[in-house]
Amino acid sequence: MEAKLFFQETTVVVFVLGGPGSGKGTHCPKIVEHFGFTHLCAGDLLQAEIESESENGTMIHNFKKEGKIVPSEITVKLLQQAMQQSDNKRFIIDGFPRNEENRAAFENIVGLESFYVNSKSYNLLLVKIKPEFVLFFDCPEEELTRRILNRNQGRVDDNIETIGKRLKVYFESTLPVINYYNSKGKVQKIDAQRSVDEVFEDVKSVFAKFKPVARVDSTK
Ligand SMILES: Nc1ncnc2c1ncn2[C@@H]1O[C@H](COP(=O)(O)OP(=O)(O)OP(=O)(O)O)[C@@H](O)[C@H]1O
Ligand SMILES: O=c1ccn([C@@H]2O[C@H](COP(=O)(O)O)[C@@H](O)[C@H]2O)c(=O)[nH]1
Ligand SMILES: [Mg+2]
């Protein structure tokens, strides 16, 4: 009898971008809760490298303190590992890609997709995972600065000097990435200057096509 392919999941990636303090980290957990995505925050993955005192930890710490963008090979590897370790296929990637180099490096990742034949799982190599869309939290500079200075989470980069550098990097390097995806019709722009509840109403509309799904438990 011919083997029957009855189930295939494909990886869905949504990039979440916006200036520092625009609300990415506030809204991503809500997206996880409502739509079953896994939240990968590039900044948090880098921070974990600093805290684990890995070989790149000191270098990453210095980049973060200066508001500079860590080389793509480090960030993309961390993201790729996190995606491979997850049993989910839906990812929101928060605060990445930060620049053109990040974008190109991510889009050249070789992705691993699973499919099932007669209940048996197989892996299939797929090249180039493209983002489904980019969720863009649009917020004016003065509001970003105000929010970061009030954040009070003890971040090494939440001070007036580093904020200036981060904003410069955002306008010079990250906005062009958002503009690139906009030219491809892939940007969902949200007015992030309103209250968290109002902003999340718009976010929900953008994700409405993703109904929450039961997660595949890889341990069974
Ligand atoms: N709509 C909002 N109105 C008022 N304050 C907000 C709003 N959204 C987020 N905040 C607050 O602003 C601060 C920054 O938000 P958040 O950490 O979500 O930003 P971010 O985009 O993840 O920033 P970063 O890029 O620096 O990580 C937090 O203290 C958060 O509580
Ligand atoms: O893709 C990335 C993400 C982050 N960084 C560095 O980390 C800090 C903090 O990032 P947040 O997203 O604001 O938490 C950022 O300023 C960069 O120094 C990075 O290099 N690449
Ligand atoms: Mg954040």
The pTM of the full predicted model, rounded to 2 decimals, is: 0.91
- Give me the pLDDT at residue 203, please: 98
User: Could you say which ligand is closest to the alpha carbon of residue 156?
Assistant: 2
* Ligand 1 contacts CB of residue 19 (under 6 A): no
Helix, strand or coil, per DSSP, at residue 219: coil
User: What's the CATH fold of domain 12-117+124-206?
Assistant: Rossmann fold (3.40.50)
Task: Examine residue 97 and say whether the peptide bond preceding it is cis (omega within 30 degrees of 0).
Answer: yes
Annotated binding-site residue numbers for ATP: 21-26, 151, 194
Phi, psi of 113, rounded to the nearest 5 degrees: -110, 145
How far is C-alpha 174 from the geometric centre of its chain's CA atoms?
A: 13
Predicted pLDDT at 112: 65
Per-residue pLDDT tens for 144-161? 999 999 999 999 999 999
- Residues placed in the known binding site for CMP: 102
* Structural domain boundaries in the chain: 12-117+124-206
pLDDT tens-digit profile of 31-88?
Answer: 999 999 999 999 999 999 999 989 999 999 999 999 999 999 999 999 999 998 998 9
97 lines ligand 1 (CB under 6 A): no
Distance CA 164, CA 170 (A): 10
Q: Give whole-number Cα distances, 76 to 83, 133, 171, 174, 195, in Å.
A: 10, 18, 22, 16, 32
Among all chains, which residue has been given the structure tokens 């990637």? 93
Q: Determine if ligand 1 sits within 6 Å of the CB of residue 52.
A: no
Q: Which residues are annotated as a binding site for a ribonucleoside 5'-phosphate?
A: 68-70, 95-98, 155, 166
The bound ligand whose nearest atom lies closest to the alpha carbon of 147 is 1
Please choose from 28, 46, 56, 78 the residue to mutate so as to test ligand 2's pocket, defined by most ligand atoms within 8 A of CB.
Answer: 46
Per cent of the chain over pLDDT 70 is 88
